[in-house]
Amino acid sequence: MSSPSNLAELDLADLESAFAARSVERFRARQVFAWIYKRGVTDIEAMTDLPRDLRAALLADFTIATPQVASHERSSDGTEKFLLKLADGKHIESVFIPDTPAMTFCISTQVGCAMACAFCLTGKMGLVRNLTAGEIAGQVRVLAGALELRDKAFNIVLMGMGEPLHNYDAVMKAMSILCDTHGFHLPPRRVTLSTVGLLPALEKLGREELMPNLAISLHAPTDAQRGELVPINRKYGVADIIAACKQFPVRRRSRITFEYVMLAGVNDSADDARKLARLLAGVKAKVNLIPLNAAAGIPFERPADDVVDRFARVLAEQDVTVSVRKSRGRDIRAACGQLIVEGPEHSPAQKLATLAFD
Ligand code: SF4
């Protein structure tokens, strides 16, 4: 939970202000920040380059909350799934995907989700609560520590549970924490934010200094189809999303990823592919096809491989850059659509929560 005494909720500027209010020198804030993020130390007593009396004063005023690993599973393909318990007992999942092509952490931004996408069990939970900035950045701390990757380059995709733009301020503050040169020093281009397209927040995102890469969860080329799959489409339609993407300040040599969950007989025809190619004309786009990982409670089927191949071929023939997402971690239910949170706070029906596509 967010608390003024929890150092994990503070970016460096906040930490400097908190220390200044206690007449502690600014460089001490940078030292503490580096202990937490560079060295993974959350015991203030162990921050040995701080004077003993300062450590005692900090211990009296501050805590450093860290999500706890409730379980950790490793897939035969190297994917690792972490079930993390938060301070209030809620659970979230984070996934490590080893070669995608870099090492990638898939991070959650909310407990549950309000977007109610038809193919996503997280959406069936509804929104339980937003994660705090410290809980979002804390997932990275936990995974980097557990996997001994703190000193290595890794990517982050905000594609776990939740819609990141529905928790905008916490996500941007987590960016500020993670990208700080005194901490992980994560370049924003190593972060990808995936959204259903909450347009006011998307426009705001385009003006951010710490701007992540953008992925749009499109999933259908027309309002009629997308409205059935992604209910928010009734508010922010396909044409408006594409117009916003054309305005979005995409980095040089970069593209917006359009995620497209393939559902048998729903959005997987050659005609759908042609419509999608027409829709994306003039957008710096690449399409990521995600054949559904069928799961109990999801009322859709995975298309046959030749249907997926045909869809990809039609896009490629129209000069659309396309890839098919390789399913990872299916044996530990860590693939997209397969993560399951079984927290004590949920009813049996709510015990299912998939790793979402956003
Ligand atoms: S797919 Fe993403 S936005 Fe949609 S309900 Fe699931 S988590 Fe929310």
Give DSSP secondary structure letters for 86-140: -TTS-EEEEEEES-SSS-EEE---EEE-SS--TT-HHHHH-EEEEPPHHHHHHHH
120 annotated active-site:
no
> Would you state the pLDDT for residue 86?
97
Cβ-proximal residues to 329 (8 Å cutoff; 6+ apart), any chain: 75, 77, 79, 80, 81, 95, 97, 335, 338
Tell me the per-residue pLDDT of 290-349, one tens digit each, with 9 for 90 and over. 999 888 888 999 999 999 999 999 999 999 999 998 766 666 555 554 444 544 333 322
- pLDDT category of residue 163 using cuts at 50, 70 and 90: very high
106 annotated active-site:
no
Find the 177 Cα to ligand 1 centroid distance in Å. Answer: 25
> Which ligand 1 atom minimizes the distance to the CA of 120?
6
Whether 265 has a pLDDT exceeding 80, the answer reads yes
> Would you state the pLDDT for residue 327?
67
Find the 284 Cα to ligand 1 centroid distance in Å. Answer: 24
Which protein residues are within 6 Å of ligand 1, measured from CB? 113, 115-117, 120, 122-123, 161-163, 196, 356-358
Tell me the per-residue pLDDT of 16-69, one tens digit each, with 9 for 90 and over. 999 999 999 999 999 999 999 999 999 999 999 999 999 999 999 999 999 999
**Burial class, 149, CB count within 10 angstroms (exposed 0-12 / middle 13-18 / buried 19+):** middle
* Ligand 1 atom 2, closest CA: 358
Find the 189 Cα to ligand 1 centroid distance in Å. Answer: 23
Annotated catalytic residue: which of 9, 16, 93, 163?
93
Q: Phi/psi at 206 (nearest 5 deg)?
A: -65, -15
Give me the helix-helix angle, 26-37 and 12-21, nearest 10°: 140
Q: Phi/psi at 287 (nearest 5 deg)?
A: -105, 135
Among 93, 107, 120, name the best residue to mutate to test ligand 1's pocket (greatest count of ligand atoms within 8 A of Cβ): 120
86 contacts 135 by C-beta, under 8 angstroms: yes
Domain ranges for the chain: 7-61, 68-351
CA distances from 233 to 217, 237, 313 (A): 11, 5, 27
Query: For residues 192 and 203, what is the distance between their CA atoms, to the nearest angstrom?
Result: 16
* Ligand 1 atom 4, closest CA: 117
Compute the mean pLDDT over every residue in the chain, rounded to the nearest whole number: 90
155 contacts 190 by C-beta, under 8 angstroms: yes
Of residues 308, 309, 291, the one with CA closest to residue 300: 291
> Would you state the pLDDT for residue 252?
86
Tell me the per-residue pLDDT of 203-246, one tens digit each, with 9 for 90 and over. 999 999 999 999 999 999 999 999 999 999 999 999 999 999 99
Q: Which CATH superfamily is domain 68-351 in?
A: Aldolase class I (3.20.20.70)
> Which ligand 1 atom minimizes the distance to the CA of 195?
3
Region class of 156: left (phi > 0), else alpha (psi between -120 and 50), else beta: beta
CATH topology of domain 7-61: DNA polymerase; domain 1 (1.10.150)
> Which ligand 1 atom minimizes the distance to the CA of 119?
1
CA distances from 67 to 32, 218, 245, 304 (A): 19, 31, 35, 39
Burial 215-248 (b: 16+ CB within 10 A, else e): bbbbbbbbeebbbebbbbbeebbbeebbebbeeb
> Which ligand 1 atom minimizes the distance to the CA of 196?
3
Of residues 287, 291, 289, 304, the one with CA closest to residue 337: 291
Among 107, 109, 115, name the best residue to mutate to test ligand 1's pocket (greatest count of ligand atoms within 8 A of Cβ): 115
Whether 177 has a pLDDT exceeding 80, the answer reads yes
Query: For residues 62 and 66, what is the distance between their CA atoms, to the nearest angstrom?
Result: 13
Query: For residues 207 and 295, what is the distance between their CA atoms, to the nearest angstrom?
Result: 38
Query: For residues 42 and 21, what is the distance between their CA atoms, to the nearest angstrom?
Result: 22
Find the 299 Cα to ligand 1 centroid distance in Å. Answer: 15
Q: What percent of the chain has pLDDT over 70?
A: 89
Find the 47 Cα to ligand 1 centroid distance in Å. Answer: 40
Could you tell me the pTM of the whole model? 0.91
Tokens of 63: 């805590």
> Which ligand 1 atom minimizes the distance to the CA of 123?
5
On the question of a cis peptide bond just before residue 101, with omega within 30 degrees of 0, the verdict is yes
358 or 16, which is more confident?
16
Find the 119 Cα to ligand 1 centroid distance in Å. Answer: 8
Query: For residues 73 and 309, what is the distance between their CA atoms, to the nearest angstrom?
Result: 31
